Amino acid sequence: MKKIESSRGLLTAVSVAHTLKHFQTGAMSIIYAVLLVDLDLSLGAIGIISATQNATAGYLQGASGFLTRYFPRRVIMGVGHAILGVTTLITGTANGLLELVGYRGAFGAAHSTHHPIGTSIISDGYSSDKRGKALGIHISAGHLGQAIAPILVAPLILFIGWRGALGILALPSIILGVGLFLLLGGSNPTRLEGNKKRVEMRPILQLFRQRNITVIVVAQMILMGGRGFALIATFFPIYMVQGLGFPLSTTGALFSIVSAGGIVAPLVFGPLSDRIGRKRVILISVALVTPITAGFLTFHDPLSLAVLLGLFGIFSFAVPPVLQSFLADVSDSTQRDMTFGLFFTLGFGIVSVWIPVFGFLIEAFGFGALFVGMIALQVAGGGIFALAKEKDASVSTRAERNRH
In the predicted structure, residue 201 carries a pLDDT above the cut 70: no
Quote the number of domains for the chain. 1
Angle between helices 278-295 and 248-276 (to 10 degrees): 150
Calpha distance 324→317 (Å, rounded): 12
Q: Pseudo-torsion of CA 381, 217, 271, 261, nearest 10°? A: -50
Domain for residue 38, yes or no?
yes
As a whole number, mean pLDDT of residues 177-196 equals 67
| Stretch among 8-22, 219-233, 283-297 having the lowest mean pLDDT | 219-233
Reference 333, options 259, 245, 238, 404; nearest CA is 404
In the predicted structure, residue 199 carries a pLDDT above the cut 50: no
Q: What share of the chain has pLDDT > 90, as a percent?
A: 38
Q: Domain limits at 88?
A: 7-191+200-403
More confident residue, 259 or 387: 387
pLDDT at 99: 93
As a whole number, mean pLDDT of residues 161-189 equals 85
pLDDT at 403: 47
More confident residue, 345 or 194: 345
* CATH code, domain carrying 122: 1.20.1250.20
Domain for residue 122, yes or no?
yes
Residue type, 30: I
Contact at 8 Å (CB) between 315 and 289? Answer: yes
As a whole number, mean pLDDT of residues 360-364 equals 89
pLDDT at 104: 93
pLDDT at 326: 93
As a whole number, mean pLDDT of residues 305-318 equals 92
Secondary structure (3-state) at 49: helix
Instruction: Please work out, in degrees rounded to the nearest 5, the angle formed at the alpha carbon of residue 21 by the alpha carbons of 17 and 27.
Output: 145
More confident residue, 322 or 248: 322
Q: What share of the chain has pLDDT > 70, as a percent?
A: 91
Domain for residue 391, yes or no?
yes
Integer CA distances (angstroms), 319 to 188, 219, 365, in order:
27, 11, 29
Sign of CA dihedral 265, 57, 79, 168: negative
| Stretch among 174-183, 188-197, 216-225 having the lowest mean pLDDT | 188-197
Calpha distance 403→126 (Å, rounded): 11
- What are all long-range contacts of 15-19, with beta carbons under 8 Å and residues at least 24 apart? 15/137, 15/138, 15/141, 15/142, 16/141, 16/176, 17/77, 17/81, 17/114, 17/118, 17/176, 17/180, 18/114, 18/118, 18/138, 18/139, 18/141, 18/142, 18/145, 19/141, 19/142, 19/144, 19/145
In the predicted structure, residue 175 carries a pLDDT above the cut 90: yes
Domain for residue 2, yes or no?
no
Reference 208, options 335, 354, 114; nearest CA is 335
Q: How far apart are the first and last CA of the chain?
A: 25
pTM: 0.77
More confident residue, 371 or 229: 371
pLDDT at 186: 61
pLDDT at 47: 81
As a whole number, mean pLDDT of residues 27-37 equals 85
pLDDT at 204: 62
Angle between helices 7-38 and 43-59 (to 10 degrees): 160
Question: Mean of the per-residue pLDDT values for the chain?
Answer: 84
pLDDT in tens, 240-273: 988 899 888 888 888 878 877 888 899 999 999 9
In the predicted structure, residue 184 carries a pLDDT above the cut 90: no
Banded pLDDT at 322 (limits 50, 70, 90): very high
Write the Ramachandran bin of 207: left for phi over 0, alpha for psi from -120 to 50, otherwise beta.
Answer: alpha
Calpha distance 376→382 (Å, rounded): 10
More confident residue, 120 or 380: 380
pLDDT in tens, 93-127: 999 899 999 999 999 999 888 888 888 888 888 88
Contact at 8 Å (CB) between 121 and 130? Answer: no
pLDDT at 223: 93
Contact at 8 Å (CB) between 50 and 230? Answer: yes
Calpha distance 316→158 (Å, rounded): 31
Residues linked to residue 184 through DSSP beta bridges, in sequence order:
4
In the predicted structure, residue 293 carries a pLDDT above the cut 90: yes
Contact at 8 Å (CB) between 102 and 322? Answer: no
pLDDT at 398: 46
In the predicted structure, residue 278 carries a pLDDT above the cut 60: yes
Domain for residue 1, yes or no?
no
Residue type, 236: F
pLDDT at 279: 93
Banded pLDDT at 350 (limits 50, 70, 90): confident
Domain for residue 63, yes or no?
yes
